[in-house]
Amino acid sequence: MKFPLFTLALVLGCSTFAADIPRVLPSGEVPKDVRLEPLKDLNGYFPFTPPKSREAWAPRAEEVRMQVRVALGIWPEPTRTPLNAVVYGKVEGDGYTIEKVYFESMPGFFVTGSLFRPRVEGKHPAVLCPHGHWTDARFIVRGDAEMKKELESGGERFLESGRSMFQSLGIQLARMGIVAFVYDMLGNSDSLQISRELAHGFAKQRPEMNTVENWGLFSPQAETRVQSIAGLQTWNSIRIIDFLTTLPDVDASRIGCTGASGGGTQTLLLSVVDPRVTVECPAVMPSTAMQGGCTCENASLLRVGTGNIELVATFAPKPLGMTAANDWTKELETKGFPELQKHYALMGAPQNVALWAHLNFGHNYNIVSREHIYGWFNEHFHLGLSPEKLKEQEHPVLPREQMTVWDEQHPQPPKGDDFERKLLRWWDDDARSQLVKAPEVFEKIARPAWKTIIGWTERNVDDTGAGQMKKVAVSGQGKSYLAFVWMMQPKDGSKLPVLGIDPPKGNGRVVLWLSERGKAGLFSEGTELRPEVCRLLEAGYKVVGADLFEQGEFLPDGKTITQTRRVQNPREAACFTFGYNRALFAQRAADVCDLLAGLSHSKEPTGRSVVALDGTGPLAAAALAVFTDSIDKAVINTGGFRFGKVLDLQSPDFLPGAAKYGDIGGALALARVYTKQVLVLGEGKENSDPVGWLLEH
């Protein structure tokens, strides 16, 4: 049996706990909800199931792309401010030149790198080369002991040029007729405005940067605005394409990207969000196993419900080449790659996906891997080079002092905490300026973002079902009422214990009454129904209460959750938990949407309304921001709450991304689009009888 959705009342109940609230399950038993399983972390298993058809894949691929854009803080994209590029210090080599480059991806925030160009005229393809976690990667010159091991293993062929894999990469690409840009990740080589310790080694929250104003990276305030190292690095990569396509010798229709390890992560993330990339080669990174161990490879929301194999699948049918080694990619030949082959075949391009597995090597970006990548670019950029031209040749290795972009004439820009605060403030202000341009612009940007944040879409509407119902009796104000308890079971494996109460004489309307105590919020003392509930029943409304996730029957001891779970990773970065798992607030808001969807399946007349009082306003606002079925009326008391003021990453109210998209005001603005009348309380307006307002209207 399903109750029709006519009126929705989300009301925070009083603090007393009802001792004998009707239950769906026996006392002490909790719902078998998939969300009670251990949290997923970066070392989990991330399989990819190929779609059944192109038509089925298209909306999923766009959903994944949107999720990545939101998670990386580039939805909407930051304003493309002037690059103010500086290119100088040309060094001429045999078939190539090397130049020093720096430019601003955001005002005052610099990208640094080395530009390798062919010494022939004409339009050339361009390849971005982000590096992984090699120390001083662009400047690396490996010593004799390391080179001896590389030569003996076959990982390198030349003693001198093999000392710098990144110079070898750039030089070989240039000799092949490709413009290559080898650039610095944050905290590496010349990119020192944000330190390596912060970008890649962050481990503990910084109280001085965890503030409502003037916050820093990894703080709750940064997380609620989806500001991260991964996002900054990806935006740098996007601006690098902007820079390269301004060069007169670059063919903008042929843009590639290749990097290994953390550089492989950057390669695949860039290729998800920027359609200008036409060929990608993420080396020793994509797999169904470890997804990226560094803070620079993770962001809240990034891999919730997805993983690196699906991320690279969004690139299809464009050419994707990968390498595997004796690391977390060692099973890629049997887990992940076969599914990608099937996927590429479905997309009509089975020849456009390749894997070069060399399990005799450990984690690497060696000459064996690099030369596979050269062949891939040769094939898909249609260069027509012979096999001999695809092999690296000896070249001199430039020392650090010849590679660095900073000198007396080109001094290093500001860095440190003040710079960090200023950068994040600009990023936030810029996003806000775009969101407030016009209501239609706000909705176009904010609604898909809130759907990503909450993780609920209209596809769930037909995925709800009711378990076996049990009759129970409840009473209040001296009267008895017939009620039912049942377990609503959405298709995603979540469970919702529900209590529904019939009125003496129904008017075809239903009130969904939500409380921080779950369905116990229908009761005031013991098993006595609240007077407001009785008032609605006597007016002909059916009243429904439910235990959202981690409420009521989920908690046998009846206690309220004050701290949410986190993964075992000891580092205090939200991305390691919320990059793979929904925040508790988001899960509860999605539960509300599932309830609304399930309770709406009825042929009876409709007349839907929402009431959210005494602290449930944020939950109601977030749910209604993504639930796009028509609602007649809503009374929502925000209590002055703001997501951007939550100072604890484990607070049940913490919600990544929420502050960026208008906070509570933004959610309410979206709710108003599908709600005919909205009364907002808690923002300087009060109403002594909101239930009366609902009944009168």
User: What residue type is 689 in one-letter code?
Assistant: D
Distance in angstroms (rounded) separating the CA atoms of residues 668 and 662 = 9
For Cα atoms 524, 527, 531, give the angle at the middle one, nearest 5 degrees: 40
For Cα atoms 519, 525, 528, give the angle at the middle one, nearest 5 degrees: 70
Q: What is the pLDDT of residue 6?
A: 32
Distance in angstroms (rounded) separating the CA atoms of residues 397 and 141 = 8
- pLDDT tens for 315-334 read 999 999 999 999 999 999 99
Residues 601 and 533 in one domain: yes
User: What residue type is 313 in one-letter code?
Assistant: A
User: Is 249 part of any domain?
Assistant: yes
Residues 36 and 92 in one domain: no
Residues 506 and 559 in one domain: yes
The domain total for the chain is 2
Distance in angstroms (rounded) separating the CA atoms of residues 596 and 602 = 12
pTM: 0.95
The gap from C-alpha 164 to its chain's centroid, in whole angstroms, comes to: 34
CB-count exposure of residue 309 (10 Å: 0-12, 13-18, 19+): buried
Domain-ending residue, one of 355, 382, 408? 408
Distance in angstroms (rounded) separating the CA atoms of residues 61 and 70 = 14
Q: What is the pLDDT of residue 13?
A: 35
Distance in angstroms (rounded) separating the CA atoms of residues 599 and 545 = 11
Distance in angstroms (rounded) separating the CA atoms of residues 31 and 20 = 18
Q: What is the pLDDT of residue 57?
A: 98
Q: Tokens for 435, please give them.
A: 């969101």
Cβ-contact 579, 571 below 8 angstroms: no
CATH number of the domain within which 176 lies = 3.40.50.1820
- pLDDT tens for 360-410 read 999 999 999 999 999 999 999 999 999 999 999 999 999 999 999 999 999
Q: What is the pLDDT of residue 467?
A: 64
User: Is 55 part of any domain?
Assistant: no
Q: Is residue 623 within a helix (H) or strand (E), and if so which, with residue range?
A: helix 617-626
User: Is 1 part of any domain?
Assistant: no
Q: What is the pLDDT of residue 15?
A: 34
Domain-ending residue, one of 352, 384, 408? 408
Residues 16 and 112 in one domain: no
Cβ-contact 619, 514 below 8 angstroms: yes
Q: Locate tokens 């003496």: which residue?
A: 504
CATH number of the domain within which 511 lies = 3.40.50
Residues 38 and 77 in one domain: no
Q: Locate tokens 């997923």: which residue?
A: 40
Residues 468 and 598 in one domain: yes
Residues 462 and 548 in one domain: yes
Distance (Å) of CA 479 to CA 13, 351, 485: 20, 73, 19
Residues 31 and 129 in one domain: no
Residues 126 and 32 in one domain: no
Q: What is the pLDDT of residue 50?
A: 97
Q: What is the pLDDT of residue 7?
A: 39
Residues 18 and 157 in one domain: no
Half-sphere exposure of 481 (CA within 13 A, CB side): 32
User: Is 215 part of any domain?
Assistant: yes
Residues 303 and 363 in one domain: yes
User: Is 425 part of any domain?
Assistant: no
**Segments forming the whole domain that contains residue 623:** 7-46+453-696
User: Is 641 part of any domain?
Assistant: yes
Q: Which residues of the chain fall below pLDDT 50? A: 1-19, 461-463, 603-605
User: Is 232 part of any domain?
Assistant: yes
Residues 38 and 81 in one domain: no
Q: What is the pLDDT of residue 611?
A: 64
Q: What is the pLDDT of residue 512?
A: 82
User: Is 157 part of any domain?
Assistant: yes
Supply the Cα-derived Rg of the chain in whole angstroms: 28
Helix (H), strand (E) counts: the chain: 19, 20
